[in-house]
Amino acid sequence: MSIRTPETPPQESGIEKLQLKVGGMHCSLCTESIHKGLTQLDGVEDARVSIAHEETLVRYDPTRVIESDIRRTLEDLGYTARAPDQAEIFAEEERELAAARRKAMLSGGFLFGASALMVAMLFLGASIYLIAAMGVLALTMFFGPARFIVFRNGFQSIRRGILNQDVLVSAAALGGLLEGSVGLLVPAFPAGGFFGATVFVLGFHLIGGYASVLVHVRASQSVRKLLDLEPPTARRIEEDGAERDVPLEELFVGDLVRVRPGGRIPVDGAVEEGSSAVDESLITGESIPQDKLESDEVIGGSLNQAGGFVMRVTRLGEDTFLRNVARQVAEARALKPNVLRLVDRILLVFVPAVFGAAALGFLLWSVGPWIWAGQPDVARAAFAALSVLVMGYPCALGMATPLAIIRGSSEAAERGFLMRSGEAFHVFKSVKKIVLDKTGTLTHGEPAVAEIISLNRYGEHEALRLAAAAEGGSEHPLAKAVVSAAEERELGVTQARDFRAAPGMGVTAGVEGRSVAVGSPRFVEGEGANLASAHDRIEDLQAAGNTVVVLAVDGAPAALVALADRVKEDAKETVERLEAAGLEPVMLTGDNERTAKAVAQEVGIAEYRAEVLPQDKAEAVRDLQRQGYRVAIVGDGINDAPALMQADLGIAIGAGTDIALETADIVLVGGRLGTLVEARELAGRSYGLTVRNLALALAFNGVGVLAAITGLVAPVWAMLAMAASVSLVLTNSFAGRLLPSYLGEQGGD
């Protein structure tokens, strides 16, 4: 299934894109394996692979290679391939997770049995019965739950010249089986120990694989949150005027649909009859509700607020705005730059080094003695080569990063933010550009009275009281903001009479014997007020990013009420602290140029872009990435989701939408921007902990491999080294705190 989005057309004629979910990836080396395997196919121009979300985006020439060949190559490499973001794949992913869980549980049982047999051999001696029992465990593990590692993943990788962790674990397990089998005939080879090593190597690998599948499956289901915003049914008006609820699948372009107050707009369309105010903040980032009159466009998924209306359907299914954003999120997952984690950079060198050491051990005790003494020591050469493979499996190396992440995540939760991915710890320290959304991130995300300017004898409080009395009967969000401001000031708002509302324009009412009009400048002028003397002030307020409501009393202008989305109290300080930490802030917003400029100036951001659509936000992030920057973005709405996914590091405000939270790497639970600086500091310290863990783990594996080259190291020492290295990594991970306590107090509430 080729997926081609309107926003990202093919760059070359005849080249198509294929986006696939890839199951079974567990480390950054998998991305290299898949990229190399696919690009070896004649006709594949490029393959972008995301381990964070287990997806690949393949550009290929359909005249030279077909989709089934691409899928078959992935399956040969040991991965599963399916179309992304379709409802039926969620159940399949859950089945994949359940299978990995079963294998991990089986592995736990095998590890317990192998440990018991090792203890028995230690105290009772290596009897043939204990050795045979260990051999049965090893063979059952090898040909049972772990067979896909060796016979599919490992073999297919080797066949394509790819060295990765699957190849290493396959070699270690096979080496243990071979040497254990030799030990049944040659007493000098400790058969029980080598069989036990096979069980331990495969068991730890399967348990680690389950954790990886768990993370990826949960992350991949974020698009479901986006599609859930679409109501399952719409109230269609039939030709005979009757109304009935129908599934969205039964709608056609041109159908008339009634939208009630407080309901979500089901699909994209245009207002046919009536008017309302629609909250599009989750879609466009515009915090002030948009007045919708006849012929105005409405977007599926946005929230109708003030009045009911009839709309005509203009777009359905994959053509709707929400589905386009879903495709943008999906494509951003595949285009997101992969972070080659430190442990995987080590493995790129370590895996070939282990195989090289095994070859060296064999040559040293076969060719060496033959040159020196004329008689090769084949037994010792084989023992050395196989022991190197067994000692070389990096168990503690694989645990070093997860333990550091667990330690850092625990402390992050105490500070009010969640680190949802290991990449967050590795990336944040190298981020140079941090993109900040406006609505809901730098601002509170809802309109409030910012300023009241008296135009005649009425003071600010009296003007606000009269405006609130008139607006009391309105459901419009701006009217509610005026009423809330009066209530906060305890102005004693009275009941209005003869209330009349002009949807999307304003209201008129009788207040304490006076005729009051409140609404847009155009509306108030239409009610007979002369605003010529106030035009300059209105323009100044609008230039500062405010929405201006005019109060007229008895036909004369009385006051201007400026409403705006207020900047958060800690926004300016946070921007200053981010700049001091070496990050360059950039503001992106779907809001208008006037409002964007005012907010950017207030918080001290020099670089900003206004009226940015969701797909444009993701493209803006890609532009910065193409310039060589590591980019973080902070957002909270649907319109931020593609960019959150595309960025090297996505940071969501905890009060944001589900899709924003699910696509982010870091979540600021309390919504306090000041925690951004603490998060970066914690990420740097957590990365340092990872480095120390890897150094400890690598020391044991490295020393073990060098010792195994001598041909004198029994497999029991591999078990002891594994236990010691894991213990040291555990102790190092959970000793002390990563952040000093005073950091948690800075900028606190």
d(CA 168, CA 352): 9
For residue 565, the surrounding DSSP H or E stretch is strand 556-567
Beta carbons of 479 and 508 less than 8 angstroms apart: no
Give 602-643 as a 3 state SS string: HHCCCEEECCCCHHHHHHHHHHHHHCCCCEEEEECCHHHHHH
The beta-strand segments (E) located in 25-176 are 44-50, 55-60, 80-82
Enumerate residues 6+ apart whose C-beta is below 8 A from 534: 455, 550, 557, 560
CA 514, 519, 524: angle at the middle one, nearest 5? 70
CA 22, 419, 574: angle at the middle one, nearest 5? 130
C-alpha distance from residue 617 to each of 247, 284, 400, 436, 663 (Å): 32, 11, 35, 11, 15
Helix (H/G/I), strand (E/B), else coil: 344: helix
Query: For residue 366, which phi and psi values (nearest 5 degrees)?
Result: -110, -60
Beta carbons of 57 and 17 less than 8 angstroms apart: yes
d(CA 386, CA 709): 9
Q: Which of the 8 DSSP states describes residue 263?
A: P
Beta carbons of 35 and 358 less than 8 angstroms apart: no
Verify whether residue 377 is a known catalytic residue.
no
Query: For residue 447, which phi and psi values (nearest 5 degrees)?
Result: -70, 150
d(CA 469, CA 472): 5
Please identify which residue in the block is written with the tokens 């972008």.
48
Beta carbons of 483 and 471 less than 8 angstroms apart: yes
Tokens of 61: 């020439």
Please identify which residue in the block is written with the tokens 């990563």.
738
Candidate list 437, 640, 648, 665, residue with the active-site label: 437
From first CA to last CA, the distance across the chain in angstroms is 51
Burial code of 114-127, b = ≥16 C-beta within 10 A, e = fewer? beebbebbeeeebe
- Residue of 745, 646, 735 lying closest to 696 (CA atoms): 735
- Given CA atoms 290, 294, 295, 299 in this order, what sign does their dihedral have? positive
- Residue of 476, 73, 83 lying closest to 291 (CA atoms): 476
C-alpha distance from residue 682 to each of 121, 289, 617 (Å): 46, 38, 27
C-alpha distance from residue 66 to each of 83, 332, 342 (Å): 15, 24, 36
- Positions annotated as catalytic residues are 437
